[in-house]
Amino acid sequence: MPNAHDVLFRTLADPTRRAIFERLCREGEQTVGALTSKSGVSQPAVSKHLGLLRQAGLVRDRHEGRQTHYSAQLGALSPLIDWTSQMAGFWETRFDDLEDLLKRMDQ
C-alpha cells in the first residue's frame, strides 16, 4: 500500500512522463495527439503515461467527441511541497538543538 509521496515521486521520476506534465503546466490543456507529436514516443506510450498521471491525481481528462483533452491538476503537488518543507523543518530543528547544546556548553 504505497502512500501519497510514493505515488507522486514514482510518477514524476520518469523523464518522458514528467515532460508531459510540465508541458501541461506550461501550456495548459492539450489533446493526446498534440502531446504525442512533441513527446518523441508513440501514442500508446503517451496514453499509458497519461493514465499513470491521472491515477496519481496529477492530471484531469475531458472527453470531447473522439478526442481527449488533458490538463494539469496542480493541487496534486501539495504532498510533495509538504514533504520537502517537512524535511527542511527536521533539519532546522536539529540545527536549533545543536545551537542550544553549544549555548549550554558555552556557559
Partner DNA sequence: TCAATCAATAGCCAGAAGGTTATCGATCAC
Partner DNA sequence: GTGATCGATAACCTTCTGGCTATTGATTGA
Residues that bind a copy of itself (CB under 8 A): 2, 5-6, 9-10, 12-13, 15, 18, 21-22, 25-28, 72, 74, 77, 80-81, 84, 87-88, 90-91, 94
- Minimum CB separation of residue 82 from a copy of itself in Å reads 11
Binding status of residue 56 toward DNA by CB under 7 A:
no
Which amino acid is present at 47?
S
Helix H or strand E encompassing 59: strand 59-64
Cβ partners under 8 Å of residue 60, min gap 6? 54, 70, 71, 72, 73
User: With binding defined as CB under 7 A, does residue 36 bind DNA?
Assistant: yes
